[in-house]
Structures are given as structure tokens and as C-alpha cells.
Copies of this chain bind each other. A is one copy, B any other.
Amino acid sequence: MTESRKRHTLPTIADVAELAGVSRAIASRALSSEPRPVSADKRERVLAAAAKLGFKPNLLARSLTTKTVNLVAVIVNHIHDLSDLDLFDLLISQIQSIGKQVIFVRVGSAERIDEFLRNGIAYHVDAALVFSDFADAQTVRKMFRNDSVLMLNGMRDSSSPAIIPDEQVGIAAAVTDARSKGVRKALLVTGRSASPVEQARIAIYKSELLRHNIVLVAELRGDYSYQSGRHVASSSDWRKADAVFCTSDAMAMGVLDVHRRDFPENMPQSFRLYGFDDVTLAEYEAYPISSIGYDKAVYIDEILKFLREPSLFSAGEKLIQVPTYFVARSSS
């Protein structure tokens, strides 16, 4: 211990400046990632001093003046679903790649979100990505101090940008597929009807069924989850239809498993099964479910564009559509 009085507190920029023999301002500039006017030799000294001290800037303090924290909030209802896995890992990775970090906010049943959010740092993020449908665009905007809110939950208004998969094309293809295989009577297994995404989705299914002269025999209500798929599968007069459209792959998986249980021989061939989301797992043998998906990479790319340059979205068009596609598998 040559320099005995070892402080218990982390080195600040003032320490660096002192050691380098310059003012705090110079130190700040030398350490900045932006190009700032500093003479070469002073920059050199500052950098050396910072390295020697192991100085790391306090980003909290910095954010106080710069008004930016490089933090993005991802607001979700929950992360139960398989389709979430496919999305969030890539999303986080991409957000981090532009130097921002992700704060995950799970709003669950949406009790007093407002208050909750304000008591947490999430309230101060640079941008919020709203997957949860706990609130409409205006409410969400009000909940954050800035307007950098990207609606990904299907809700939108004239002020907030939104990215929404264009489900029309995928659903149309799925129904066309069914019709071409002779389907005349269909069942629709739906998710939480409170969600506007779901309402729109259901409406598209109905209009496409109608257009293809397929009779909607019944509409069964689930909640997107695997469990709810099982539930409706066991409850219903199931034989009436020759096709079942589920608005999530998880529900389709539940349906499939119940039939797998009841008919332990191969796949039930009594009806054609269609899912939604195109989860990775559906690519394999256990759940070969025909499904509707969209390119997650494209979708996330659009999100990243927003995060990089929110201003692009505040002008121009607010609604970005990502096309969906239909994938036929052996379930249909």
C-alpha cells in the first residue's frame, strides 16, 4: 500500500482530471465518444489517467444532463408462449447491438400499471416497445415522459407509430389451402377477445371463410395458451368440422395433444388443423402444424429502425406492415 488512503468510493471524472492535470471539462471531452475539441496530448493524458484509475463514468449521472439513458423498455403481458421465445431473444440481442439495454416490464393482469411503472426506472427509458395490450396508444404515451412509444400490440392511433403483421394475406392463404382440400365446415379457436389484434384476426378469418364458402360451425374461446387449447379440445362437439383454425400455435398444439391422447394411433385425420405464429417447434415431427407466420428478423429490423431514429417515425407514415405467410404442414 504505497498510496495508503485508498478511497472506498469509485473514481470520478474529477479524479481523472486531477491526475491528468486538466480540468473536468477536458476530461469529460477526452472521454466522450463523440468527437470533442481536445488537444492530442491532453486527451492522451486523460485516457491514461482514466485507465490507471479504472475510471468508469457514472451513466446515471450522465443521463441527468444528457437526458438519455440508452435504455429501452419492453412491455409485455407475460412471456409464457413459445412464440415469445422465438422473438425476444433476437430482439434483445439486436437492441443490445446498438448500444442500448433492455428493461423487461411484465404487466401481467394490468393492475395499477401506471403507478407501478412510475415507481420504476422504466418510466425514464428512451423508448418503450409495447407488446402488451394493457392500454391504448394514448394512455401508454402519457405514461412515459417522451413520445417514443412504439405500439406492437395492434393498437394504434394517429400519433403513435405501430408495426403490425399484415395477417390478411397469411390467413387468406391458409383458408384457401383448406378449401382446396375440400374443407366445408370449420371451427375457430380464438384467443382473448379483449385484444384488438385478436378481434381483427377473427374478423379476417370470418371474412375469408365466408369468401370461400366454408361454414363456421362454432367459435371456441381460449386464451392463446396451450392449456386453453387442450381445454376447448376436450369440451366440444368436435366432429362437426373438417378443419380447425386456431389463432395461436400453442392452442393448436393443445388441440393436437388431446387428440393424440384420445387416438393413440397416428395423427387424428378427422380434421385439418391450422395454427398461428409459426413457432419453431412446429417445424418438427411432434407438432407438424400448418401455420401462419411472419419474418421475425424483418419485424425486428423495423423495430430497430425506430429505435435508431424515432424521428423518422414521427414524420412519415406511422404504420408499418410486415407481411405474413402461410406454411403448409402435415396437420392440414
Contact = CB atoms under 8 A, between A and B. Distances in A.
A273 to B, nearest CB: 13
A79 B88 contact: yes
A84 B87 CA distance: 13
Contact of A85 (B71, B80, B116, B118): B80
A106 B85 CA distance: 13
A106 B92 contact: yes
Interface in A73-96: 78-82, 84-85, 88-89, 92-93, 96
B105 A145 contact: no
B106 A103 contact: no
A254 to B, nearest CB: 8
A82 B79 CA distance: 11
A10 B145 CA distance: 8
Interface stretch (A55-63, A184-192, A298-306): A55-63
A194 interface: no
A257 interface: yes
Contacts of A101: 103-105, 120-122
Interface residues of A, number: 57
A124 interface: yes
Nearest to A286: B286
Interface string A120-158: 111110000000000000000000010000000000000
A286 B266 contact: no
A64 B56 contact: no
A261 interface: yes
A121 B264 contact: no
A182 interface: no
